[in-house]
Amino acid sequence: MELVVATRNKDKLREIKELLKGLSVKVFSLESFKGVPEVIEDGKTLENNAIKKAVQVSKFLKKFVISDDSGLEVEYLNGDPGVYSARFSGKGATYKSNNEKLLRLLEGTALSKRKACFRCAIAVADKGRVIGIAEGRCCGKIGFESKGDNGFGYDPVFIPDGFKKTFAQMNAFQKNKISHRSIALKKAKNIILNYLLLYR
Ligand code: IMP
């Protein structure tokens, strides 16, 4: 059984591959295929974008596909950057410039007002048809400075509830135990297993 992860983001792919261990599927990313059209992520929600990616890619490749759309929602910023997390600091945004912008916007804000949640939407599609969608959430606070070198994206500024260190100060095993992505993927695994049992 082959499963394509509709992403070119190596960081996401690394985490997803790790989290899919135990499921007897061979995992590919978009890098394994030529000519897959770029999907415009213009949905208003993570779920819309995840579904759009999974459907378009699985229709094109005629394969079983999952896609991940994720982002960070900061309460003080009314849920921003949310669906715009990847391009928060504009054209040419990097993980570093996004984190710098976030810390700047929260400057002078007390820890109690720095609540934030990572959210992840995973869509599962087969040959252009949506099979299911799963959501995961991990809440915590935005720290006062970037800390740690592991992970990616906003990991250096995100301190999950119940911990004193950022995601980027945790190892992959620790992050994967509690992350939004691991919660969504656990649900997505059940969707995949049920589908395989019933329809394939
Ligand atoms: P997209 O899902 O490709 O639209 O982009 C998601 C963006 O959200 C990434 O580029 C990261 O900046 C951020 N993000 C998503 N998941 C994580 C995570 O697990 N850690 C840190 N940042 C994340």
Tens-place pLDDT, residues 166-198: 999 999 999 999 999 999 999 999 999 999 888
Cis ω for the linkage preceding 160 (within 30 of 0):
no
Which tens digit of pLDDT belongs to each residue from 84-102?
Answer: 999 999 999 999 999 999 9
Q: Which atom of ligand 1 is closest in space to residue 70's alpha carbon? A: 2
Q: What are phi and psi of 147, to 5 degrees?
A: -140, 130
Give CA separation, 2 vs 17, 26, 199, in Å: 13, 5, 15
Task: Give the domain CATH number at 96.
Answer: 3.90.950.10
- Over the chain, what is the mean pLDDT? 96
Pick the residue whose CA is nearest to atom 17 on ligand 1. Answer: 153
Residue with tokens 């499963």, as numbered in its chain: 3
Contact 43, 115 (CB under 8 A): no
Cβ count near 93 (within 10 Å): 16
Is the pLDDT reported for residue 199 higher than 80?
Answer: no
pLDDT of amino acid 131:
96
pLDDT of amino acid 171:
97
d(CA 71, CA 117): 8
Please state the pTM of the whole predicted model.
Answer: 0.96
Q: Which of 11, 42, 68, 69 is catalytic?
A: 69
pLDDT of amino acid 132:
97
Q: How far is the CA of 71 from the centre of ligand 1 (A)?
A: 5
Q: What is the count of structural domains for the chain?
A: 1
